[in-house]
A = this chain, B = another copy of it.
Amino acid sequence: MGLNLDSVIKLSDAGEAPIDPITLFVALLCVCIVIGNLLEKNRWMNVSITALAIGLCTGIIILLTTKGKSSRSFLFNGNLFFIYLLPPIIFSAGFQMKKKRFFRNFITINVFGAVGTFISFSIISIGSAQIFKKFGLGSLDLGDYFALGAIFAATDSVCTLQVLNQEETPLLYSLVFGEGVVNDATSVVLFHAVQKFDLVPITSAMVIRFAGSFLYLFISSTLLGIAVGLMSAYVIKKLYFGRHSSNREVALMILMAYLSYMMAELCRLSGILSVFFCGIVMSHYTLHNLSESSRVTTKHVTRLFSFISETFIFLYVGMDALDIEKWNAVGKSPGTSIAVSSILFGLVMVGRAASIFPLSYLTNLAKKSPSDRIGFKQQVTIWWAGLMRGAVSVALAYNKFTTYGRSQVRDNDIIITSTITIVVFSNVVFGLLTKPLVRLMVQPNEEPGNMTSFELSSPRSLTIPFLSNGLDSGSDSGGTHIQRRSSLAMLLTKPTYTVHYHWRNFDNSFMRPIFGGSQNSHSNDLLQQY
């Protein structure tokens, strides 16, 4: 992500008070878990919305007890979010990702994540620049509009994870979540690029340089994550900690995953991409070198950290929504603020529509089998699920439009409050409606591309070697059939499958002997049991 270090330090210094807010937040987290559990049977609610609501209520209580001075116990800390809360969420997602589906849709995910985000960014930037001048937001320059584009092009993979279910709608989940990860990287790169480059006039050389810096960032972040993951597998395999103490191996694995994130941040790369791929590599290799109880612990610990981080973020956004100082400035021109929020959210919807539908059409053209194509109902669901904006947007907005956690200019206040309005609105409305919509639009067992039904019904599936990840069993017999056909003919007709086939051979004969990996079914049974 490579946020400007200086501004992060300043935010952190200005916005920290220790015992009281920590106690408050820990107590609120407990309340969220209890209430979230009680409300779980309610089909409309989920933990994010519960946390948002509790955050809002707490904000109101603080507002009343401090007699309208403040609604928050401490200022928004970009540091806290990017250094402590985001890594466990993304690592957990990579660690628990169904790798088959992710890599099967790798190209689609990247097209949506990179090209789609760029389309959204362009539409939001240009649209806001054209419209906002009419509302008297004169102090914003072109750089600010580009920053706005980057801020609102960032979808919220955390919210998405809350409303989509990997088991019920696997294709949608992998597309929307995978897109979200690439989108995170793209929008942060965009945000940096528009702050660094002098954007007027836009030349073709700049576009090429920009594309180059994106590719560099994407590839080097991914490689860093994979390298750290492989190193952890090798070290844990060689040292064989299990015989001494299982805590050490779990500690080493989690610390190394975190290290991949921090090293990427330190090198101004995308920590999100690194820790995501580190999670994938660790679940493929490192996990199999651990002792049995350590495996259970690791799986639970990653989910646990991720769960606490997510709840914390929503709680904070809820509390932050009532920050009275910013609303005071906005109160003098409420019409402008409402208009700005509505326009921005309209642009977000248009921008996403302009990226999802054409890109779906294009990727569908490339797919020969109708079962692989993305149907219209699914396109609508993908469009809808990606409309939520969350903590990344808030963090970027604070980074750009405030100094020391407090904004200086009225126009900046309006942007900050609009961001919060959009985040709360999109989370509440889309959080409430997405579950029913998914149920309405996509019947879980009707979803084309649903791996389970696909594998069982289609006879062709037996001849297709998927990328095996050691945890998904059942397609292990695939490799033998395919060898009867020419590799070259396969590569031309089914490039993805051929890549998977060769990867699998390479994995079994070279990677697994070095880095570890499951061949025995006993350990898999244990993993599935828990």
Contacts and interface: CB of A to CB of B under 8 A. Distances in A.
A264 to B, nearest CB: 10
Query: Contact size class for A?
Result: 35 or more
A22 interface: yes
A255 B23 CA distance: 10
A34 interface: yes
A83 interface: yes
Interface string A243-262: 01011101110111011001
Given A30-B256, A34-B252, A9 B18 contact: yes
Contacts of A18: 5, 8-9, 12, 79, 83
A247 B252 CA distance: 21
A30 B257 CA distance: 11
A300 interface: yes
A197 to B, nearest CB: 23
B303 A247 contact: yes
A20 interface: yes
A27 B307 contact: no
Nearest to A265: B19
Contacts of A19: 5, 8, 83, 262, 265-266
A378 to B, nearest CB: 27
B259 A23 contact: yes
Interface of A: 5, 8-9, 12-13, 16-20, 22-23, 26-27, 29-30, 33-34, 36-38, 40, 79, 83, 235, 239, 241, 244, 246-248, 250-252, 254-256, 258-259, 262-263, 265-266, 293-294, 296-297, 300-301, 303-304, 307-308, 530
18 contacts: A5-B19, A19-B262, A19-B265, A22-B83, A23-B266, A26-B258, A29-B251, A30-B259, A33-B248, A33-B251, A38-B239, A40-B244, A247-B307, A250-B300, A251-B308, A254-B304, A297-B297, A297-B301
6 pairs of A and B residues whose beta carbons are closest in the complex: A297-B300, A23-B262, A293-B530, A33-B252, A247-B303, A26-B259
Given A27-B259, A33-B255, A296-B296, 15 more contacts: A5-B18, A12-B16, A13-B16, A22-B262, A29-B251, A30-B252, A33-B252, A34-B252, A37-B239, A40-B244, A246-B300, A247-B307, A248-B307, A297-B304, A300-B301
